[in-house]
Amino acid sequence: MRTLVAVSFVSVVATAGLAALSAPTYSAVPCEDMLKEMRSARAGAKLSDTDMQKVDELEAKAVERCNADDDMRSDKFIAEAMKVIGK
DSSP of 6-56: HHHHHHHHHHHHHHHHHS----SS-HHHHHHHHHHHHHT----HHHHHHHH
The separation between CA 9 and the C-alpha centre of its own chain, rounded to angstroms, equals 33
Q: Enter the pTM of the model.
A: 0.67
Which residues are CB-contacts of 34 (< 8 A; sequence separation ≥ 6)?
A: 27, 62, 74, 75, 78
34-46 mean pLDDT: 95
Share of the chain above pLDDT 70, in %: 69
Q: What is the pLDDT of residue 11?
A: 53
